[in-house]
């Protein structure tokens, strides 16, 4: 059978494979650890908890207590949404039986099947999901550094960057110039730069 993502998350196929593992090992409930509570990680955690109906212990490790979505952030720039509407806590996931830990995962030991957190906690797992999103790497773009983002905000990570970009546009003098460069193809969201430009134009 072709294993599609929907089957993996939706039909309990993965769950049944997981449930078999600890029976062999003679342990308690099978454990899934998810690193990263963004759209990807939070959705995976939510559906594993839901489909396994509590038979799988799900732990979500997320660095921040509040997730600010990139999606809809352009609408915030255009003045169609407020910033708070982009922000989401993790209370609903806790209510769904997921153990949510706000800490940064700093290491994975694949042989021992453990995740180490910055706070020193070590989490054992049977299956691990890595969903840390993207980040910027100092020195990866010639002539650009992380500090430059404080002057020329990219707003690729929603939060303070999005707010900084909006405040800069709002502070522009009459006749000022707004310049934006779309990344070369292929990139994740082809309409993104155009959506952003439309919103900035609307704001101006």
Ligand X SMILES: Cc1cc2nc3c(=O)[nH]c(=O)nc-3n(C[C@H](O)[C@H](O)[C@H](O)COP(=O)(O)OP(=O)(O)OC[C@H]3O[C@@H](n4cnc5c(N)ncnc54)[C@H](O)[C@@H]3O)c2cc1C
Interface residue list for ligand X (CB under 6 A)? 35-41, 61-64, 67, 70-71, 73-74, 104-105, 131-133, 156, 188-189, 192
Nearest C-alpha neighbor of 159 from the set 70, 49, 41? 70
CB closer to ligand X, 12 vs 41: 41
CB closer to ligand X, 22 vs 40: 40
Both tokens of 104, joined, read 């940064």
Gap between the Cα atoms of 150 and 120, Å rounded: 31
Q: Indicate if the alpha-carbon torsion angle 36, 99, 39, 15 is positive or negative.
A: positive
Q: How far is the CB of 109 from ligand X (least distance, A)?
A: 15
Q: How far is the CB of 132 from ligand X (least distance, A)?
A: 3
CB closer to ligand X, 2 vs 84: 84
Q: How far is the CB of 159 from ligand X (least distance, A)?
A: 10
Q: Indicate if the alpha-carbon torsion angle 106, 66, 199, 178 is positive or negative.
A: negative
How far, rounded to the nearest angstrom, does the alpha carbon of residue 177 sit from its chain's CA centroid? 32
Both tokens of 7, joined, read 């089957």
CB closer to ligand X, 54 vs 65: 65
Q: What is the DSSP letter of 173?
A: P
CB closer to ligand X, 40 vs 78: 40
Q: How far is the CB of 174 from ligand X (least distance, A)?
A: 27
Gap between the Cα atoms of 13 and 111, Å rounded: 24
Give me the residue whose beta carbon is nearest to ligand X. Answer: 38
């Amino acid at each position: 059978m072709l294993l599609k993502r929907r089957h993996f998350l939706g039909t309990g196929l993965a769950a049944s494979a997981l449930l078999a593992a600890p029976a062999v090992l003679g342990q308690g409930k099978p454990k899934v650890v998810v690193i990263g509570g963004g759209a990807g990680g939070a959705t995976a955690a939510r559906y594993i908890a839901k489909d396994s109906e509590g038979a799988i212990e799900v732990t979500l490790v997320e660095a921040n207590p509040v997730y600010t979505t990139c999606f809809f952030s352009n609408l915030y720039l255009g003045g169609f949404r407020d910033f708070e509407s982009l922000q989401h806590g993790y209370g609903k996931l806790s209510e769904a039986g997921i153990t949510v830990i706000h800490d940064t995962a700093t290491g994975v030991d694949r042989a021992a099947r453990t995740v180490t957190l910055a706070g020193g906690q070590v989490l054992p797992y049977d299956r691990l999901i890595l969903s840390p999103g993207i980040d910027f790497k100092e020195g990866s773009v010639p002539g650009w550094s992380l500090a430059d983002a404080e002057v020329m905000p990219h707003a690729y990570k929603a939060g303070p960057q999005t707010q900084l970009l909006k405040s800069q546009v709002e502070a522009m003098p009459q006749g000022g110039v707004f310049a934006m460069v779309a990344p070369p193809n292929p990139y994740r969201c082809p309409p993104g730069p155009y959506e952003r430009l439309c919103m900035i134009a609307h704001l101006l």
